[in-house]
Structure 1
Amino acid sequence: MLFMHVLLEASWYYKPKFKKKGWMYCHRILAVLFIITLCSHIVEVGGFTSDILNISPDQNPNQDSSTDTTQTNEAPNTNFTNKKYKDGIYTGKSTGYGPDLVVQVTISNGVMENITIIAHNERDPKHYALAMKQVPEEIIKNQSTNVDGVSGATKTSRGIKNAVNDALTKAE
């Protein structure tokens, strides 16, 4: 995209060296290519989404967001380090980059043995795949949701930790 911008600037700078009609034709083509490049970049990174506007996908834009506490992407204050849990399989739900990130936590002998992500609405695997692999492994290794997230997948990482916390509240 920067390359296209430089070409546009160069075509304007060298305007006197072109014939009047030739320069304008070249400049218009470069401008159209710049717009196409910009649009494809916006689509590639996820476009204009509701999270840019801080609106939950299931929230009415006219609704007062201060009264809606059901969906949050903030890390909770709950830290489940060194607690004993009831054995079983528990499901937790949270919001990552997209809504409805669902995990299944298996507890055996009072500790977390396995974390499986069973559903999600994340957008692009190149952003969320590493988080979905690393974060559950770190949670199991540390037996805590107080672990680092994956850079570039902050919302997904936080959503996984929140969903595990949700499942662990059911296992207390």
Structure 2
Amino acid sequence: MTSFLSTFVNKVDRKGRVSVPAPFRAALSDAAYQGIIAYPSLKDPAIDAFGRAMLEDLNQRRLDKTMSDGEFEQALLGSDNMIDTIMAMAHEMPFDGEGRIMLPTALAESANITDRAAFVGRGTRFQIWAPDTFEQHQQDSVAALRARLRETGDGT
């Protein structure tokens, strides 16, 4: 299964093109569709993205009845009753010859992305953030996790 790790910050040019990090493109290199599927995150001030293979695999499992509609939505999105909304908001973005995508204005605006974009690995998917927003989010998340670990005594 495809795995996206780490964080990369790349420049967005005046035309809205941004280079997808080489490790992320490599994770998608075996796919028939050379590009990504992306939509505005419903949870974070970011863009959620993944390869078409993930969507096709989950959809095929649903069609084969090896998972229920609820399990399909849970596996793809983390909660029920969102698939139709997300599919309506999704954009297919093929890679150009240099590994860039054209970031649609609506997607960029949904995440407040202007001249730089942070690509953040999330395992089977990734997110695209405005770098400053992600940095603050990450600092807040680490601080909350450290506080919880101190409270529970589980920190090492």
- TM tier, smaller: under 0.3
Structure with greater helix percent: 1
TM-score w.r.t. the length of structure 2 is: 0.25
TM-score w.r.t. the length of structure 1 is: 0.24
Higher relative contact order (CA 8 A, sep 6+): 2
Which one has the largest radius of gyration?
1
